Amino acid sequence: MHVTRFPYWLSLICALLIGWRFWAGRAPATPRRLHQILYQGCALLLLLTLVAYYRNWLGPQVGLAMLALLCGFKILEARQGRDFYLLAYMILFLLLSHFFSNQSIFALLHALAVLFLLCVALFAHNDLEGSLGRPALLAGAGRSLLMAIPIAVLAFLLFPRFPGPLWGRMPNSETAVTGLSETMEPGSIVQVIRSREPVLRAEFHGPAPAQNQLYWRGPVLWQTNGRSWSQGPPAPRGGAARITHLNAPIQYSVVQEGTEQHRLFALELPAHAPAPFRFTPDMQLIAPHKLRSRSRYQITSFVDYRFFDQNADFKWRGLQLPPGSHPRSRVLARQWRQEGLNPRQLIDRALTYFHEQGFVYTLSPRALSGDNMDAFLFETREGFCEHYAAAFVVLMRAAGLPARIVTGYQGGTFNPLGNYYILRQSDAHAWTEVWLDQVGWMRVDPVTAVSPERIRNGMDEVLLSLNPPELLEPLLTPLVAGDWTRSLRNLLDSAGYQWSKWVLGYDIRHQRQLLRLLNLERFGTPALYGLLGAGLFGLLFLLLLILRAGARHAPGGADAARRCYDLFLRRLARAGIRILEYEGPLDCAARAGRLLPGSAPEIEALTKSYIRARYGGERAALAELHRRVHAFRPRPGRTRSTEHDQGLAPRHHNGTE
């Protein structure tokens, strides 16, 4: 389970240690002194190597790596029963530690499979007589896990929840995704969209907006050095942004993956920041801490709005260009301005320029030399969304219109099985906002002038239209667009989403709702502990009764042979034959045969079946014993003996005897 988290050589060494133990059981014995030198020397050397690799003695990563290494060496030296149990406990701890960093449903299924195999090993280790076959071992392990499920469910529902984790979280290398950053340079978003990692899942509480209205707002970039863009210094404090909503509110729930960043994404334009999150002046949604695991929040947005900035310097910030940068782009923008075009006409003129001058939307544009914006606008004329967004903002600022770049995600893929939209890194996008005095900040997406299908149909359709190599096209197209693969992806993703929604999302608020439903909320935490304890005690008592009943009637093994033989002895006792403590099965059978001559052959055959089943472990003999015992009926016959010789149980005499 930790193979993706540990260095590859550590996993290889653990596998070699297991192989060494497997070989050592079949190879000639190594001298004890030599064995200890090799064993201890290798262990010390590898522990020092781990410390050098992680550059630390302490920490969850190096601690788990050491535990895995010691587990491998424990396999190598295990000889006694206590070694086996210690090894099992170490494996259980490694199993538990996997959930510190990955709590997906697939991690749970993986852990259950490992736990099942460990239970099988425990059953086999405790089968000292080797009477259980593989089906019995598998069935026993399965029953144990099934009996544990009610206890786990009860503890999950009623164990008191706390606002934060009980321990420090480990870095989540499996689910945390990097995604968009606070800077953008032509080519940076292309690197992001090559990943199919999920970013968030959104479930709308009502009709969803159209695909071309799904803009998920992220970092807002104001400042440029001529090649790259960044957020720049924080805006000075001013009045709150004035927002006018022009359509009905859209309510939805979001489950966002961990990003190791403070940023969250919301549909433009969010109306409020759910606690404990907040808005920046340019309406970025920010968390107070880094999002190292999935975050779930409910939010309301308006896709039709007017957004007026209240900071005094936003126009100045929205017009800045580095001195001497983009000379040809500045000349073009000034020409448009000198034509007397108003702000809306300037926007339309730039979009028309992109549409009519042979610009190409591609993920593999030619390299830009010299001034990158001038080279893009007048030479290569091919690029991705960040090229068009940066060039459009340069043209608007050069023409005297405040403008800025907004990065985030656009669109999403609808999953009909879960009734939600999933956004992946491949949906990363960049667009612009231009300030108009009577309108405020207005969204303008220059990609619509070059590749409108990107906004209308989503990124998957664009990837299919970008002409992959002929040899790869027959392979890539079914994988991306095939109905069966799409259905399978939807099914797997829906299972993970429902798991995150109902299991990982079960927090203190949901627990209070459950207690309110059970009319227990008014009793507080002590009552919750009492209810949990009573429920666990009741379940354990019920399981104890089930186990005792099963032990009384379950077939198989030496205990089953003994239970059958005890039934035979009870039938002899009812016939008046007392069992003597010093007698073994053969002596008992001989005496019972003398006292019950009519049943002597049956008693002899039954006892031989018992000996073969009880001491020889013969399963066929156990079945024969079971059949003979249930068919046995004592028949006294004609032989008489004294009561002392017969071992008769005491009885009442009627005087005539």
Phi-psi map region of 283: left, alpha, beta (phi>0 left; psi -120 to 50 alpha): left
Average pLDDT over residues 283-300: 86
pLDDT, one tens digit per residue, over 205-252 is: 989 999 889 999 999 999 999 889 998 887 666 556 788 888 889 999
Q: Which of 265, 100, 271, 231 is closest to 169 using CA atoms?
A: 100
Residue 657 binned pLDDT confidence (cut-offs 50, 70, 90): very low
pTM for the full model? 0.64
pLDDT, one tens digit per residue, over 458-516 is: 666 565 555 444 334 433 444 444 566 667 777 777 777 778 777 877 777 777 777 77
Lowest-pLDDT range of 99-108, 143-152, 546-555: 546-555
Does 170 score more than 60 pLDDT?
Answer: no
Instruction: Note whether 260 and 194 are within 8 A (CB).
Output: no
* Token code pair at residue 469: 């190599």
Average pLDDT over residues 141-154: 87
Instruction: Note whether 311 and 236 are within 8 A (CB).
Output: yes
d(CA 153, CA 155): 5
Q: What is the DSSP string of 63-116?
A: HHHHHHHHHHHHHHH--SHHHHHHHHHHHHHHHHHGGGT---HHHHHHHHHHHH
Lowest-pLDDT range of 245-259, 451-465, 612-626: 451-465
pLDDT at 59: 76
Q: Which of 450, 357, 442, 458 is closest to 396 using CA atoms?
A: 442
pLDDT at 98: 82
pLDDT at 406: 94
Residue 400 or residue 614, greater confidence: 400
Q: Which amino acid is at 617?
A: G
Does 322 score more than 80 pLDDT?
Answer: yes
Instruction: Note whether 309 and 287 are within 8 A (CB).
Output: no
611-614 long-range contacts, Cβ below 8 Å, gap at least 24?
611/585, 611/586, 613/558, 613/560, 613/561, 613/564, 614/558, 614/561, 614/562, 614/565
pLDDT at 246: 84
Average pLDDT over residues 285-302: 86
Residue 182 binned pLDDT confidence (cut-offs 50, 70, 90): confident
pLDDT at 251: 93
Average pLDDT over residues 263-272: 90
Burial per residue of 253-269, b for 16 or more beta-carbon CB atoms within 10 angstroms, e otherwise: bbbbbbbebebbbbbbb
Q: What is the mean pLDDT of the chain?
A: 80
pLDDT at 522: 66
Average pLDDT over residues 25-42: 62
Going from the C-alpha of 618 to that of each of 28, 555, 627, the distances in angstroms are: 33, 13, 15
Lowest-pLDDT range of 183-187, 416-420, 439-443: 183-187
* DSSP element (H, E) containing 320: none
Instruction: Note whether 191 and 388 are within 8 A (CB).
Output: no
* Token code pair at residue 479: 């994988």
Q: Which amino acid is at 393?
A: V
Q: Which of 557, 440, 554, 422 is closest to 498 using CA atoms?
A: 422
pLDDT at 319: 92
Helices 385-398 and 327-338, packing angle to 10 deg: 60
* DSSP element (H, E) containing 27: none
pLDDT at 461: 58
Give the CA angle between residues 27, 31, 34 to the nearest 5°: 110
% of the chain at pLDDT higher than 70: 81
Total residues belonging to the chain? 657
pLDDT, one tens digit per residue, over 94-105 is: 888 888 777 788
* Token code pair at residue 166: 């009980």
Residue 161 or residue 136, greater confidence: 136
Does 109 score more than 80 pLDDT?
Answer: yes
Q: Which of 348, 343, 371, 389 is closest to 219 using CA atoms?
A: 389
pLDDT, one tens digit per residue, over 323-341 is: 989 999 999 999 999 988 8
Q: Where are the domains of the chain?
A: 8-155, 183-481, 557-646
